[in-house]
Chains A and B, each alone.
Chain A
Amino acid sequence: MSKQDHYSLSRKKFTLRSLLYHIFYILVGTATLGPLIWISLLSFKTKQEYSANPFNLPEEFFLGNYIKALIDTPIVTFLMNSIIVTSIALALILIVSTLAGYSLARIPFNGSAILFIVFIMSSTIPIVVLIIPLFVLINLIGLYDNLWGLIFSYVAMRIGLSVMLMRCFFRSISSDLEDAAKLDGCNLLQNIWYIMLPIVRPGLLVTAIINFIFLWNEYFLATIILPKQALFTLPPGLAAAFMGRYSGNWPVMAAGFTLCFLPTLLIFIFAQDKIVIGWAITGK
């Protein structure tokens, strides 16, 4: 690369190098997006059509796989469980991390540095390492036969990162408004609720989206902690259902997965910038 165009952000002329550049990125993009498109197309093919030509576009959009996935598998139960787990855990994460994030960002108090280390540490150590003791604990305190054990484990897993994010967003607000609110007689919680939250709402949305994608998709913890299929969320449910019964019927499997990743894919398409902002802040 010559020194003129390396790192320069100005528009370049069409050259051989820029052609190679685009070809390279199109190749990488195809490799990442290709399998996703392949599996969605696969879900519209009949089994015979798939064996005959696995790569072609489907001849007609066959919906039988989706009907089969919805009726023959407990996918609706999995979906309900996923919705329950994701929404409760998300609400808890947001409440808890807003309070802690506010405290770390705006209140100078003794020990805040130690708390900060605790939160960072908890966000870097993978909870999977502790999965066996966690499993034992959940049995001990009687959260075995329901979704709460999983919900609280998720919250514990995500608190660190969410507190970091919320702290960054709270820090970006100037303290004038808060001082004015104090003068007007707002107490602390009123201050957070009426003054800070409306300003920090974009940040809250970023935290919510990043956590939603995680919660909706988490597989391993759910598969270990949840005791029976009736409690499974979508990822372990689909894995169990399709690894067993439909392992030979790929189009039905593909239909199940397309249903599973549709919500996160839609969020991603419409709110990508939020995700990018969130991870950018984490990296700073």
Chain B
Amino acid sequence: MNNHFVDSPSKWKQFLYSPNLVGWLLCMPALGILGLFFLVPALIGFRYSLYEWDGVSSIMTFVGLNNYIELFQTDRFWNAMFINWLTFFGTLLTQMPLALFLAIGLSKQTGIIMKVYRTAIFAPQVISIAAAGLLWTLVFYPYQGFLNELLKAIGLKSFALGWLGEPNTALISLLAASAWFYFGFHMIIFIAGLASIPKECFEAAMLETNSWLNILRYITLPMLREQLLISFVFIFGGSFGPLVGFFYLMTSGGPGGSTELLGIYMTFQAFRANRIGYASAISVVTLFIVGIVLFWPVMHMTRERLEY
């Protein structure tokens, strides 16, 4: 760009150093990888969803929208869809309030004590979801598992269950385990948001009202809307994405489909039933749902970030 100062640069040089070209060129490597490993899979998924294919043979039969029609008539798909939304609302309603509550409490503290608590609460985040999954399998294990041993030790032996083995308790147990794993992350986001609210806001509000509920409602929550949105995006994306791995490892969707997320159903259709086309249809439908729900938050986040 030093050539800006040369008297009359040639057209070619002007083009070569124009911000448009340089800007796009620098983004190209990132865009290339995103294109090949994000956009192309989406297109491939859409294409294969119109075919019947076992993934191995060279025979691919074009079946039009039949995979989708079959999908929408399958109870197991609707069950997975229901479980997935239940998981989303379950995580949203447990992790977000808990994280917010703990963050508000912690933001009042300063110094070493706050740091110790923060470290302890955030710690699960740094271990692998595989480690967390197996850890919680040990906790919920019916025979000599942590939880049942604990219940025995405090004299509640009759409450000892095979937590992950029973349809009634499996999903709740998994939600508890995933809350344990993830809520520290949301807490960190909220703590950062709370730290950026000017103290004058609270001081002014305290002249007007005596109740912390009002302060929460009129000051804290509105000022945290950006963080709440991010947290929502992560929870929503998480229940269709990363949580799939967690559930897959701990229960593989069982017992009786009571913890089967769309991702797990999709994986089983692809690798156990060898129906790549059908699995791709599930993939497209899930992508569609995720895209629709996240569209508005993404546009909002973009506007917020581009403005300042």
State the A residues within 8 Å of B (CB). Answer: 1-3, 5-9, 21-22, 24-25, 28-33, 35-36, 38-39, 51, 54-55, 92, 95-97, 99-100, 102-104, 107-113, 115-122, 124-137, 140, 152-153, 155-156, 159-160, 163-164, 182-183, 185-188, 191, 213, 216-221, 223-224, 234-236, 238-239, 242-243, 250, 253, 257, 260-261, 264-265, 267-269, 272, 275-276, 279-280, 282-284
Please give, as numbers and ranges, the residues of chain B lying within 8 Å of A38 by CB-CB distance.
Answer: 146
| Beyond A32-B120, A129-B286, 11 additional pairs, beta carbon < 8 A | A32-B124, A54-B146, A54-B149, A116-B302, A129-B240, A133-B48, A137-B41, A217-B126, A217-B130, A219-B245, A275-B188
Q: Does B133 contact A (CB under 8 A)?
A: yes
Given contacts A36-B123, A111-B24, A267-B126, contact A152 B33 (CB under 8 A): yes
Q: How far is the CA of A51 from the CA of B145 in the complex (A)?
A: 10
State the B residues within 8 Å of A (CB). Answer: 1-2, 4-5, 19-20, 22-24, 26-27, 29-31, 33-34, 36-38, 40-42, 44-45, 48, 55, 102, 104-108, 110, 113, 115-131, 133-136, 138-139, 144, 146, 149, 153, 180, 184-185, 188-193, 195-196, 199, 202, 206, 209-210, 212, 215, 226-227, 230-231, 233, 237-238, 240-242, 244-245, 248-249, 263, 266-267, 270-271, 276, 279-280, 282-283, 286-287, 290-291, 294, 297-299, 301-302, 305-306
Q: How far is the CA of A140 from the CA of B43 in the complex (A)?
A: 14
Task: Tell me which of B38, B106, B146 contacts A156 (CB under 8 A).
Answer: B38
A55 B153 Cβ-Cβ under 8 A:
yes
B131 A156 Cβ-Cβ under 8 A:
no
A99 B27 Cβ-Cβ under 8 A:
yes
B27 A128 Cβ-Cβ under 8 A:
no
Please give, as numbers and ranges, the residues of chain A lying within 8 Å of B302 by CB-CB distance.
Answer: 113, 116-117, 120
Please give, as numbers and ranges, the residues of chain A lying within 8 Å of B279 by CB-CB distance.
Answer: 132
Instruction: Select from chain A the residue with minimum beta-carbon distance to B18.
Output: A109
Task: Tell me which of B108, B117, B244, B270 contacts A220 (CB under 8 A).
Answer: B244
Instruction: Select from chain B the residue with minimum beta-carbon distance to A186.
Output: B2
B188 A280 Cβ-Cβ under 8 A:
yes
